[in-house]
Amino acid sequence: MVCKPIIFKDKDGYLILKDTNRRLFKIHKLLLEFKLKRELEENEVTHHLNEDKQDNRLSNLEVKKRNQHQREHQLVKGKLSDKKKCKCGRIKGYASKMCAKCYAIKRDKIERDKLGRFKGGLK
Ligand SMILES: [Zn+2]
Ligand SMILES: [Zn+2]
């Protein structure tokens, strides 16, 4: 009997891929390595820019040094400060420049601009 690869959520909320040989892969790590075109080093981890652990779009994944990453997340857990507020007033992650909502708006704008330039180039 052939096992199908499956995807499930681990206890930390990350998506895990189990392949047909029952090996486990963190999907965000696979994708980030694909984006960087290299393997992550021992002291490197994947950071989700909008802090949504299941949002594995390449644009949401960033490589961080393990100790720096931990520090940033600890600050997130710490007291709320102005630094943690986005310019729109929503709470944002310490490590991100804006809240998930503003980030999505900005990203859409960038993608529209890119598309616009592309269309412009075709004229
Ligand atoms: Zn992170
Ligand atoms: Zn915002």
Digit-by-digit pLDDT tens for the chain (123 residues) are 667 899 999 998 999 999 999 999 999 999 999 999 999 999 999 999 998 999 999 999 999 999 999 888 877 665 545 567 788 888 887 777 888 899 999 999 999 988 887 776 655
Q: Which residues are paired to 64 by β-bridges?
A: 45
Tell me, in angstroms, the distance from the centre of ligand 2 to residue 122's CA.
34
First to last CA, the chain: 55
CA 14 to chain centre: 11
- Residue 89: per-residue pLDDT: 81
This model's pTM is above 0.75: no
Point out the ligand nearest to the CA of residue 61: 1
Q: Could you tell me the two tokens for 49?
A: 């820019």
Q: How far is 15 from 84, CA to CA, in rounded Å? A: 26
Q: Residue 98 — φ and ψ, nearest 5°? A: -150, 170
Q: Could you tell me the two tokens for 51?
A: 């802090």
Asked if residue 96 lies in contact with residue 49, where contact means CB atoms within 8 angstroms, the answer is: yes
* Residues around ligand 2, an ion, CB closer than 5 A: 86, 88, 90, 98-99, 102
Tell me, in angstroms, the distance from the centre of ligand 2 to residue 85's CA.
8
- Scan for tokens 């820019």, then name that residue: 49
- Residue 115: per-residue pLDDT: 85
**CB environment 99-112: b (16+ within 10 A), e (fewer):** bbebbeeeeeeeee
What are the chain's domains?
6-122 (3.90.75)
- Residue 80: per-residue pLDDT: 47
* Residues around ligand 1, an ion, CB closer than 5 A: 47
- Residue 7: per-residue pLDDT: 94
Q: Residue 22 — φ and ψ, nearest 5°? A: 65, 20
